[in-house]
């Protein structure tokens, strides 16, 4: 039972940690956002989450001790029963073993911690408060560092034997590009921001020109963030346009395959790149799906995620409510 | 309400029509099998179904009038409410418009007719009496003239907005081979028996050698049936081996993508080629899936369909029970 009206949600991503504090009506009272620290392994990440939850509480003008619970949406293998996260390689590359995340955060923040898969949590938020509200079946496609999926059937997240949703590892080209997961031809090998950056670096090494890395440095970044891609597209940088085009083709083919299989009502495009590029690019994905749809006269609705960068954290806060 | 213990089921395929008569325990009392007539359009097909149901009744030593109902599993767009089937191009190429199948069969056979999608009906039979019995989630993959899929989630067939299950039109190679559906790179463009035959004919035209068409003629066929492919493999015909190998690769990639998305417990391989080639080839599909599985240490079970050629007809008979 909640002893307070306030809950926190934290969305752990490969690039940033977003936190919110919400009230009993799920209204956001405060928020914070910090870069995901890369140098200090899981302990560094834990410290950053703790700091970001405290900052969101401060932004909401409440004490962290007043929180009835904290939800965390995380990539990797998330085990809420045991309170652990393992294999969160997108967060820090050496995050292999089980980290007792719930215990560490709970002790530091003085409230119970609930864990969920980042993509499912983001999809649940879009279903509850965002672009998914009108539909009973959809797929949330989180287009960011990787490409994650949250499948909703009859208004419920489908988890299968626990690992469902990996649309990023749909094979869109047998024998195709090497994915960051090590496999070949995955959707994520073409559309994941990490794979796109690796491809851009290869092309630069081959002597091709781009403003991508200049823009990156000018923004004080060491990676091609969604903002860098967006800015490069504004500048009509040819390599950026080509790589985004390639990503849109792969997203179109991969998502159309899901629709052919499940005949869902809608697609919600979220994630760093998805929300940054917005509805015009969601519309382009819808166009690229059309040639592959088995029933093209009745395509699913394709929306950009409505909750934007806050969706994951708001969904994480829902984990507290759900217990 | 049933007034009799006997029901008939008919499975309408691109190559043959299989019928059964079952009792109230779903035991098969009689069966018949006739080639699908190609020359006389939908009326010729209707006449053949009527004949095959009568033959199955005769085989069961009952009068057709003693049937409480007849179920028909059909490809194309099946509308049970209106009793019609349209766009069954795999059956006869000019089957475009709605054909009042339920009315025509019902009047000729004197019993109510229930319609279902062929692949879903076959999947339901495998769930009820076949290889799917131990599982609550699976995909039935019907590998024949085309490649169809029946998705089972929580023991129920998932239909989406009506058209779910089209695993054959999963994109396994963007910009790849032309599918018989007109699109590019579909699984069916590599693994559908019709597409495989077209590719074999192209290769022969290019001067490549094969025994496939000799074996076809020797078996008195004008198409490369599953039996012809099986025989050619026994003879180690190189083109047959190459095209089957290509099909297995595509099936492995396409089915693995489904497992990555839905994390299902099992895969049941049916259809003309699937049941003819049997468990050794189901095992090869399982092997080809492995490199693409996101959780390779816990692959789904992969079984060949247990009910073989009769599954579709037995499942069609279930349609009567379900009303």
Residue B53 has pLDDT above 80, yes or no: yes
Residue B18 has pLDDT above 60, yes or no: yes
Domain membership of residue B128 (yes or no) is no
Q: State the smallest CA–CA distance between residue B223 and chain A in angstroms.
A: 26
pLDDT of residue B308: 87
Domain membership of residue A1 (yes or no) is no
How buried is A211 (Cβ within 10 angstroms: 0-12 exposed, 13-18 middle, 19+ buried)?
Answer: middle
> How many other CB atoms sit within 10 Å of the CB of residue A323?
11
pLDDT of residue B196: 98
Tens digit of each residue's pLDDT (9 = 90 or more) over A302-316: 999 999 889 999 999
Residue B1 has pLDDT above 50, yes or no: no
Domain membership of residue A169 (yes or no) is yes
Together in a domain, B172 and B282: yes
Contacts of B176 in chain A (CB under 8 A): 173-174
Residues B69 and B47: their CA atoms lie apart, in Å, by 18
Question: Which among B170, B183, B262 is the nearest to A164, CB-wise?
Answer: B262
> How many other CB atoms sit within 10 Å of the CB of residue A242?
15
CB neighbour burial string for B135-153, b if at least 16 within 10 angstroms, e if fewer: bebbbbbbbbbbbbbbbbb
- Alpha carbon separation from B117 to A52, A260, B85 (Å, rounded): 53, 15, 10
How confident is the model over A67-75, as a mean pLDDT? 96
Tens digit of each residue's pLDDT (9 = 90 or more) over A286-307: 999 999 999 999 999 999 999 9
pLDDT of residue A281: 98
Q: Which of B129, B155, B65 is nearest to B312 (CA)?
A: B129
The CATH number of whichever domain residue A99 belongs to comes to: 3.30.420.40
> How many other CB atoms sit within 10 Å of the CB of residue B39?
6
| Cα dihedral B227/B230/B231/B232 (nearest 10) | 120
For chain B, the first-to-last Cα distance in angstroms comes to: 8
Q: What is the largest CA-CA distance in chain A?
A: 61
pLDDT-above-70 percentage for chain B: 98
pLDDT of residue A301: 98
Q: Tell whether A165 lies on the interface with B, counting CB pairs under 8 A.
A: yes
Together in a domain, B118 and B100: yes
Residue B322 has pLDDT above 60, yes or no: no
For chains A and B, CB pairs below 8 A equal: 121
Confidence bin at B2 (pLDDT 50/70/90): very low
Residues B89 and B106: their CA atoms lie apart, in Å, by 23
Together in a domain, B294 and B230: yes
Tell me if A179 sits within 8 A of A196, measured CB to CB.
Answer: no
pLDDT of residue A323: 45
Contact B149 A261 (CB under 8 A): yes
Residues B96 and B42: their CA atoms lie apart, in Å, by 9
Together in a domain, B109 and B144: no
Tell me if A109 sits within 8 A of A67, measured CB to CB.
Answer: yes
Question: Which among B160, B171, B174 is the nearest to A262, CB-wise?
Answer: B160
Domain count across chain B: 2
Residues A8 and A2: their CA atoms lie apart, in Å, by 12
Q: State the smallest CA–CA distance between residue B246 and chain A in angstroms.
A: 11
Instruction: Tell how far CA A175 is from the center of its chain.
Output: 27
Location of structure tokens 């991508």: A212
Confidence bin at A62 (pLDDT 50/70/90): very high
Question: Which among A151, A183, A265 is the nearest to B261, CB-wise?
Answer: A151
Residue A321 has pLDDT above 80, yes or no: no
Two tokens, residue B268: 């049941």
Two tokens, residue B60: 């069961």
> What are the strands, taking DSSP E only, across chain A?
6-12, 16-22, 28-35, 67-74, 77-79, 84-86, 113-117, 138-143, 147-153, 156-157, 266-270, 301-304
Domain membership of residue A83 (yes or no) is yes
Residue B314 has pLDDT above 80, yes or no: yes
Domain membership of residue A114 (yes or no) is yes
> How many other CB atoms sit within 10 Å of the CB of residue B164?
22
Together in a domain, A219 and A87: no
Q: Which of B239, B233, B238, B253 is nearest to B176 (CA)?
A: B253
pLDDT of residue A89: 86
Residue B3 has pLDDT above 60, yes or no: no
- Measured between CA atoms, the residue of chain A closest to residue B264 is A160
Residue B262 DSSP class: H
Residues A50 and A48: their CA atoms lie apart, in Å, by 5
Together in a domain, A270 and A193: yes
Together in a domain, B173 and B224: yes
pLDDT of residue A139: 98
The set of residues, in sequence order, having a beta carbon less than 8 Å from that of A299 and lying 6+ positions away, is A259, A286, A289, A290, A293
Tens digit of each residue's pLDDT (9 = 90 or more) over B215-259: 999 999 999 999 999 999 999 999 999 999 999 999 999 999 999
Contact B171 A263 (CB under 8 A): no
Contacts of A159 in chain B (CB under 8 A): 263
Contacts of A295 in chain B (CB under 8 A): 163
Residue B321 has pLDDT above 90, yes or no: no
Tens digit of each residue's pLDDT (9 = 90 or more) over A237-272: 999 999 999 999 999 999 999 999 999 999 999 999
DSSP string, A88-148: -TTT-TT--S-B-HHHHHHHHHTS-EEEEEHHHHHHHHHHHHSTTTT-SSEEEEEESSSEE
Mean pLDDT of the residues in chain B: 95
Q: Tell whether A261 lies on the interface with B, counting CB pairs under 8 A.
A: yes
What ipTM score was computed for the predicted complex, to two decimals? 0.93
Q: Tell whether A28 lies on the interface with B, counting CB pairs under 8 A.
A: no
Tell me if A101 sits within 8 A of A291, measured CB to CB.
Answer: no
**pTM: predicted TM-score of the whole model, two decimal places:** 0.93
| Residue span of the structural domain in which B237 resides | 133-306
Residue B147 has pLDDT above 50, yes or no: yes
Contacts of A181 in chain B (CB under 8 A): 294
Confidence bin at A3 (pLDDT 50/70/90): low
Q: Which of B285, B275, B205, B218 is nearest to B253 (CA)?
A: B285
Tens digit of each residue's pLDDT (9 = 90 or more) over B98-122: 999 999 999 999 999 999 999 999 9
How confident is the model over A146-150, as a mean pLDDT? 95
Together in a domain, A73 and A159: no
How confident is the model over A105-117, as a mean pLDDT? 96
Contact A260 B151 (CB under 8 A): no
Contacts of B164 in chain A (CB under 8 A): 261-263
How confident is the model over B291-309, as a mean pLDDT? 95
| Cα dihedral A286/A289/A291/A294 (nearest 10) | -110
Together in a domain, B160 and B255: yes
Tell me if A151 sits within 8 A of A124, measured CB to CB.
Answer: no
Together in a domain, A103 and A172: no
Together in a domain, A116 and A164: no
How confident is the model over B53-67, as a mean pLDDT? 96
Instruction: Tell how far CA A58 is from the center of its chain.
Output: 25
Q: Tell whether B173 lies on the interface with A, counting CB pairs under 8 A.
A: yes
pLDDT of residue A90: 82
Residue B309 has pLDDT above 90, yes or no: no
Together in a domain, A147 and A88: no
The set of residues, in sequence order, having a beta carbon less than 8 Å from that of B252 and lying 6+ positions away, is B285, B286, B287, B288, B289, B290, B291, B292
Residues A188 and B78: their CA atoms lie apart, in Å, by 36
Domain membership of residue A127 (yes or no) is no
């Amino acid at each position: 039972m909640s002893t307070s009206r306030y809950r926190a949600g934290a969305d752990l991503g490969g690039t940033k940690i977003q936190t919110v504090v919400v009230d009993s009506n799920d209204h956001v009272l405060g928020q914070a956002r910090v870069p995901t620290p890369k140098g200090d392994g899981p302990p560094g990440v834990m410290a950053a989450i703790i700091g970001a939850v405290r900052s969101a509480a401060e932004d909401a003008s409440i004490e962290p001790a007043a929180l009835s619970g904290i939800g965390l949406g995380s990539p990797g293998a998330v085990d809420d029963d045991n309170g652990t996260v393992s294999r969160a390689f997108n967060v820090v590359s050496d995050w292999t073993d089980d980290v007792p995340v719930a215990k560490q955060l709970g002790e530091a923040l003085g409230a119970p911690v609930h864990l969920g898969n980042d993509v499912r949590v983001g999809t649940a938020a879009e279903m509850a408060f965002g672009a998914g509200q009108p539909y009973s079946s959809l797929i949330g496609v989180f287009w960011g560092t990787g490409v994650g999926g949250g499948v909703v059937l009859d208004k419920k997240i489908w988890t299968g034997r626990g690992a469902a949703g990996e649309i990023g590892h749909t094979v869109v080209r047998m024998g195709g590009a090497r994915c960051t997961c090590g496999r070949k031809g995955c959707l994520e090998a073409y559309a994941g921001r990490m794979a796109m950056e690796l491809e851009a670096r290869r092309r630069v090494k081959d002597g091709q020109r781009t403003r991508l890395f200049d823009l990156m440095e000018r923004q004080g970044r060491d990676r091609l963030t969604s903002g860098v891609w967006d800015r490069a597209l504004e500048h009509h940088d040819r390599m950026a346009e080509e790589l985004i085009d390639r990503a849109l083709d792969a997203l179109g083919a991969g998502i159309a395959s899901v629709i052919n299989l499940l005949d869902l009502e809608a697609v919600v495009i979220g994630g760093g790149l998805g929300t940054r590029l917005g509805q015009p690019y969601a519309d382009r994905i819808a166009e690229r799906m059309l040639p592959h749809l088995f029933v093209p006269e009745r395509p699913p609705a394709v929306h950009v995620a409505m909750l934007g960068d806050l969706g994951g954290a708001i969904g994480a806060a829902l984990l507290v409510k759900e217990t």
